[in-house]
Structure 1
Amino acid sequence: MGTPLFPTLPTAALSQLLSLGLLEIGTGCRISPHTLIEPADEQGTLRPVRIGDHAVIGAFTILHGGTRIGDGVRIEDHVVIGKPETGYAVGHTYPGTGTDTHIGDGATLRSGTVVYAGTRIGDNTAVGHHTLIRSHSHLGADSVLGHFLVIERACHFGDRVRCSPLSHLTSETVLGDDVFLGAGIRTVNDKHLIWREPDRIPTLLPPRFETGCKVGSGSTVLAGITVGEHALVGSGSVVTRNVAPGTTVYGSPARPHPATTC
């Protein structure tokens, strides 16, 4: 890996934020002169941005107020971190209020990643190109998340999780430690497909993926489903019922089969 072609000292704009106490930069950092710091949220509340030692931040990255970047973090070009949530979703309007957003030591965020406010990304976790992580999600340590993922609000991932590209994890989905999801996984949390009906707010039932389970590429997991510990879901399955721990299921709808093939 070559040496980045940008200076090790902050630009004049960053120096002004430092003097105002709205930016803290650790030692040995390399920050592109095209980095943008946005300390104010939509309500005008100011929050400082903190960057740990030896962090690398690429061009045209935006760091919103409340962002906390750990030591040795690598952030590539065109990344957005700490973006406040705005607009309507599931019976609630988000007014653009900022909050703390944590990127753990040694994490890597590839180009085009968008991380909304309130998210926590664990130590040494890598996030692929153009992945979207919505507000208040918690992603554990030592995980690998592929490119073009959509991780909706308040998802919770354990440690050592692997998510392959092009998957959608619906709001409040839970993944235990050591879960492996293949490419193109689709999850559902709403049995009635209610979006904006004034007299009806849906009861969301996100799926759960317990410790060590594996789900093959192209599978769909419906609302309220639990995939048990160390279970295996074969590729292209539609999971309509809970999967017992240690079992192998596949098909549409997915049914138990011997573990020799799927």
Structure 2
Amino acid sequence: MVLTAGRGTRMRSSLPKVLHPIAGLPMIDHVVRAAQGANAAQIILTIGPTSEALRSRYDSTVELAWQPEPLGTGDAVAVALPLLGPHIEWVLVIYGDHPLIDSSTLANLMSRAIAEGPILALLTFDLADPGPYGRFRFGPDGRIIGTVEAVDDTSDRQAVTTVNSGMCAYRRDWLEGHIGRLPLSPKGEYYLTGLVEMAAASRWPVNPVIAVPAPVELALGVNDRAELAEAERLLRERINRRHMLAGVSIVDPASTFIDVDVEIGNDTRIEPGCMLRGSTGVGSGCVIGPGSVIEDSIIGDDCRVMSSWLEQARVGAGVTIGPYAHLRPGAIVGTGARIGNFAEIKNATLGSQSHMHHFGYVGDAHVGARVNIGAGVVVCNYDGREKHHTEIGDDVFVGSDTLLIAPVALGAGSSTGAGSVVTRSVAPGAAVRGVPARVVPRPESDGSG
């Protein structure tokens, strides 16, 4: 069970707390993935009025339990229990605002519970300063016998304190029989922590309540924007480390932001100040940056992308881009192409070994192989009402400051002179010059090579 129906008022946001993004995904996605990775047989999200937006996001991948009023964690579990399948024996309760929890930690919690056979297994962590976290009461034998909220803890704690993460695993039959016994708190809510004392007091052949320790950062919950930023920092450190251990060089991890679903090949070097977002994939042997932003794009092997921005673009192997180039959605760049400073490509293909070294714009076009696009070339694809296509064949030379008024085509091997305004299609091998561009004789070789 993933509990998500809390109000989240400290976020001060119209967006449900668990939908705030972290490392390229909504917070809740990290939690659901952790549960899936732990091989949960069934996943139930409790949602309420403040998390209604989750209904459309998860209606086909998980089951949803409706909590009409946020009456506490105990009530959230109670509304989800009727949805459990008959095969479920253990109930794992986690929280949608704990994005750092991982599959191995949840799997370890469940394996310890199954192996040791308690009523309740609690995921705990140790803090020198327990702050607002709930703590435990222990019996003379060192066993957990209950919990203490931070505001009620009057003890003078000098040592490291074991605190309650809130995440836990229950025997299903015991949980169903005791969830209805939770008392109503002075705040008008039912708290799941009340079950700890009930379980500890139960007659049970083994220790009824066990603690399963976890690293403190995995249990970090997000309640406000400051904690969201801290969780993102920790998650990005984890992501960067995973890539570095897989053979990727990250020059300055502190200034490098890589989303969780990004894939990077070995021997690629990420220079400082880069952001790799969404479902980006980068091949092997590349150099990215410094200062590049790559979003939902695919980059082949042995590419260089310097201080440039790529969005939903596809780049072949051996391509050089930048500095300060912009590949917008739909840009496709062939093997060995060269794209220089202040060049922009949108919804267009630049063929293999083609060059666009200097500032210019190519949009809604197909550019063939071995084409040279001179400085200042603009494909004028929009007439004020509609977008039009431009076709440029192989081995074309487009002179500097040429304007191509779409729809228009330049045949293979053709050329345009500097400053030409091309309003009509050009035949293969022809040369055009002027405003508007007209066919002129092509210069003949003098045979000197």
TM-score, normalised on structure 1?
0.75
2:421 is matched with which residue?
238
2:324 is matched with which residue?
130
| Within-5 A mapping of 1:6-85 | 13-17=235-239, 26-27=246-247, 29-33=249-253, 34-39=255-260, 48-82=261-295
Amino acid at match of 1:187: V
2:338 equivalent to 1:140: no
CA displacement at 1:27 relative to structure 2: 1.7
CA displacement at 1:25 relative to structure 2: 6.2
Change in CA separation of 1:159 and 1:26 when aligned onto 2, cut-off 3 Å: farther
1:208 counterpart SS class: strand
Across the aligned residues of Structure 1 and Structure 2, the Cα RMSD in angstroms comes to 2.1
2:396 equivalent to 1:174: no
| Within-5 A mapping of 1:178-257 | 178-191=370-383, 193-194=384-385, 202=386, 204-257=387-440
CA displacement at 1:104 relative to structure 2: 0.7
Q: Which runs of 5+ in 2 are unaligned?
A: 1-232, 445-449
Deviations 1:194-244 (A, max 9, x none): 3xxxxxxx2x21211111111100110001110100001111100010000
**Equivalent-residue separation in structure 2 for 1:54 and 1:70 (angstroms):** 9
**Equivalent-residue separation in structure 1 for 2:425 and 2:237 (angstroms):** 55
CA displacement at 1:143 relative to structure 2: 0.7
Task: Note if contact 1:26-1:54 (Cα within 8 Å) is conserved in structure 2.
Answer: no
**Equivalent-residue separation in structure 1 for 2:333 and 2:314 (angstroms):** 6
CA displacement at 1:157 relative to structure 2: 1.6
Amino acid at match of 1:174: H
Task: Note if contact 1:106-1:123 (Cα within 8 Å) is conserved in structure 2.
Answer: yes
Higher share of residues assigned helix: 2
1:16 counterpart SS class: helix
2:293 equivalent to 1:115: no
**Equivalent-residue separation in structure 1 for 2:357 and 2:248 (angstroms):** 33
Amino acid at match of 1:32: D
Change in CA separation of 1:137 and 1:165 when aligned onto 2, cut-off 3 Å: same
**Equivalent-residue separation in structure 1 for 2:259 and 2:382 (angstroms):** 35
CA displacement at 1:164 relative to structure 2: 2.4
**Equivalent-residue separation in structure 1 for 2:404 and 2:377 (angstroms):** 8
CA displacement at 1:12 relative to structure 2: 6.2
**Equivalent-residue separation in structure 2 for 1:213 and 1:175 (angstroms):** 9
**Equivalent-residue separation in structure 2 for 1:119 and 1:103 (angstroms):** 8
1:44 is matched with which residue?
none
**Equivalent-residue separation in structure 2 for 1:24 and 1:115 (angstroms):** 23
CA displacement at 1:190 relative to structure 2: 2.2
**Equivalent-residue separation in structure 2 for 1:158 and 1:126 (angstroms):** 13
2:352 equivalent to 1:159: yes
Task: Note if contact 2:319-2:335 (Cα within 8 Å) is conserved in structure 1.
Answer: yes
Q: Which has the larger radius of gyration?
A: 2
Q: Which runs of 5+ in 1 are unaligned?
A: 1-10, 40-47, 83-99, 195-201
Task: Note if contact 2:250-2:256 (Cα within 8 Å) is conserved in structure 1.
Answer: no
CA displacement at 1:255 relative to structure 2: 0.5
**Equivalent-residue separation in structure 2 for 1:225 and 1:25 (angstroms):** 50
CA displacement at 1:176 relative to structure 2: 0.6
CA displacement at 1:121 relative to structure 2: 0.7
